[in-house]
Amino acid sequence: MAEPRRTIGEHGIIGNLETAALVASDGTIDYLCWPALDSPSIFADLLDAGSGGAFSITPELENPRHLQLYIPDTNVLLTSWTAENGSAEIVDLMPHPKASALAGPDARCLIRRVTATRGTVTFTVTCAPRFDYAREVPEVSRADGGVSFKGRDISLKLCSSVPLACETGAATTHFTLEAKQSAWFILGEETLACPDDEAIAKEIAATTAAWRSWLSQATYKGRWREQVLRSALALKLLTSARHGSIAAAATFSLPEATGAGRNWDYRATWIRDASFTVYAFMRLGFIEEAEHFRHWAGQRVMAADVDHPIRIMYALDGSEAADEQELPHLKGYADSRPVRIGNAAHAQSQLDIFGELMDSVYLSNKYGRAISHEGWQHISGIVEYVMQHWQEADAGIWEMRTQPRHFLHSRLMCWVALDRAIRLAKKRSLPAPLVVWAECRDAISADIWENFRHPEHGYFVQERGGTELDAALLMMPLVRFVSATDPVWLKTLDAIGEQLCDDGLIYRYRNADGLEGGEGAFTTCTFWYAECLARAGRLDEAQLVIAKGLAYGNTLGLFSEELDKRGLPLGNFPQALTHLAFISAAFFTDRLLDPGHQPLWQP
């Protein structure tokens, strides 16, 4: 297994609510899909160092210290180098769509401004895009004010305040700046008009102001405010301003275990993950994002047929998610083959998605706009589907590639679907066969209590008739199926702590899942566990687990999907599910630590 040139955790993320780029701590952009988050990559060196494509800016400094931070309350990233003989910094951003004069609704660009902050510093810059997942080396030629990269289906332009040279598949430059001098680079559509220094400065200022304006809506004032707001900013980067959909992560095929085949594409909208994200936004006061997603999800529901009322996941534009395929020409992060795009899980049966969707619909109706008559008819159709299928086996929340099984979490979320539909019907006086729905909801509850318990110890288990635990059980008190202090639940919580926990790291399960190799601890589960501890009244333990979970994030406060045994990041990055789980844990733990405080949003 090869050591990666840049680890997953050594990155920040920037974006424009349509796509996103990862910027490594050494100043290299080694991941970017263009023009949308689920488009083919133009930079993917993170998945194949030297071949995937990258945009590097390197100062000639002796043994520099690297630092990365965000300009406060924004998604504008600053990367710096500090050495004995000088220092330098890069400001990286993608212009905010509501603030950009350079990039309108159908144009987008990437801005990089480099400054010598002390001393005389020489820089080497190489922009080497590789189109179509590094399957195409573009033709490079001079263009008005810069360099053009032409491919079969895409053409880009790089403008710069310093002269650029054309090489095979790359644009390069070598220049020197005195202290306080700056140079800039802007990569965008072929039609991009090259700006001047003043326009670049205005663009940076406007995007900074736009992010701060958005974040000012946040109502959270608790003890983890800085980290919670950073998570909100990360989640916002995964939303589509154009469509209202929300991606599960920014990346594809970053491995859950290095050197193994657990490499998946998360650049799609999972109904489950996106619905959870809606909870997080609403808790923080961001109602517009919840409404936008509800509209997008409503269109999916209304377009569905009776046999399949809604899919597990969709492409970001709402079309069917892409089939899974392998890219054998890419080596993979740390030689973790195969590199995959698309996701075969879109064809699985995962019954839990109906519960997550209904919970988000219920909360959106409670705190946002009332559901329409037509929308309620489609929701009623989903409830009927759940009533007909809740007893079936499925692939579960973890998308196991074994034979379908009867998972408790799937059964639980079917209960949630019925429960939230009943609550919504009562709250809005909507027509519904409430007696029939309640009977089905109660039958699901009885099934869980009777058939999903350990035969010896009595705590809840992963699947019907089984004995294994599953961290997804941590959702049981969070969706209010069981009291957080119920004796059976407390036994379950203790068992999870004993069998799935390792110093705050929580593994999803220990049993076989039909895939080769092991996997890391799942970062989302750490914060689910913390929230369960808090709800059980174990506030000291909850705060410690939250502190450990935060420590396992990177220096920018970003979370990967998983962690290896040393606590180093694995998997796709940044992971929406983890950021929203942290927001939820922080929100409820704050409430319990300060019971006199009444937040604006109530569960």
Q: Is the pLDDT of residue 466 over 50?
A: yes
pLDDT of residue 463: 97
- Residue 260 scores a pLDDT above 80: no
- Segment 287-317, tens digit of pLDDT: 999 889 988 998 888 887 767 788 999 999 9
Question: Residue 68 and residue 82: Cα distance in Å, rounded?
Answer: 11
Mean pLDDT calculated for residue range 264-273? 96
Dihedral-angle region of residue 218 (phi above 0 means left; psi in -120 to 50 means alpha; beta otherwise): beta
Q: What is the mean pLDDT of residues 404-412?
A: 97
Q: Which domains does the chain have, with CATH numbers?
A: 11-203 (2.70.98.10), 483-603 (no CATH)
Structure confidence at residue 107 as a pLDDT band (50, 70, 90): low
Name the pLDDT band for 320 (thresholds 50, 70, 90). Answer: very high
Per-residue pLDDT at 149: 98
Among the ranges given (56-65, 155-164, 304-313, 345-354), the one the predictor scored with the smallest mean pLDDT: 304-313
* Closest listed residue to residue 91, CA positions, set 115, 123, 107: 115
**Rounded average pLDDT over 118-129:** 98
Residue 135, pLDDT above cutoff 50? yes
Q: In what helix (H) or strand (E) does residue 363 lie, and over which residues does it extend?
A: helix 353-367
Question: What pLDDT sits at residue 338?
Answer: 95
Judge contact between 124 and 61, C-beta under 8 A.
Answer: no
Using the predicted structure, report yes or no on whether residue 595 has a pLDDT greater than 80.
no
pLDDT of residue 527: 98
* pLDDT on residue 598: 44
pLDDT at res. 9: 97
Residues 512-566 pLDDT 10s: 887 776 788 999 999 999 999 999 999 999 999 999 999 999 999 999 999 998 9
Other beta carbons less than 10 A from residue 520's beta carbon: 25
Q: Which of 175-189, 302-316, 346-360, 589-603 is least confident?
A: 589-603
pTM, two decimal places: 0.96
**Rounded mean pLDDT, 152-160:** 97
Say yes or no to pLDDT of 602 above 70: no
CA pair distance 102, 67, nearest whole angstrom = 29
User: Using 50, 70 and 90 to split pLDDT, how confident is the model at 601?
Assistant: very low
Give the pLDDT of residue 356: 94
The stretch 441-470 carries a mean pLDDT of 98
Mean pLDDT of 279-294: 91
Q: Which residue has the higher pLDDT, 103 or 130?
A: 130
Q: What is the pLDDT of residue 106?
A: 56
The average pLDDT across 89-109 equals 82
* pLDDT at residue 98 is higher than 90: no
The pLDDT score that the predictor gives to residue 517 is 67
Which tens digits make up the pLDDT trace of 481-498? Answer: 999 999 999 999 999 999
**Which residues neighbour 547 within 8 Å (Cβ) at sequence distance 6 or greater?**
none
Q: What is the pLDDT of residue 308?
A: 74
Distance, first Cα to last Cα, the chain:
46
- Judge whether residue 453 has pLDDT over 90: yes
Assign 267 a pLDDT band (cuts: 50, 70, 90): very high
| pLDDT number for residue 104 | 57
Mean pLDDT of the chain: 94
| Distances from the Cα of 194 to the Cα of 106, 158, 198, 199, 489, angstroms | 17, 9, 12, 9, 62
| Percent residues over pLDDT 70 in the chain | 97
* pLDDT confidence of residue 105: 52
Contacts by 507-513, CB closer than 8 A, 24 or more apart: 507/471, 508/398, 508/470, 508/471, 508/472, 509/398, 509/462, 509/468, 509/469, 509/470, 509/471, 510/468, 510/469, 511/462, 511/468, 512/402, 513/398, 513/400, 513/401, 513/402
Q: How many CA atoms lie within 13 A of 237 on its CB side?
A: 29
Question: Which of residues 90 and 401 earns the better pLDDT score?
Answer: 90
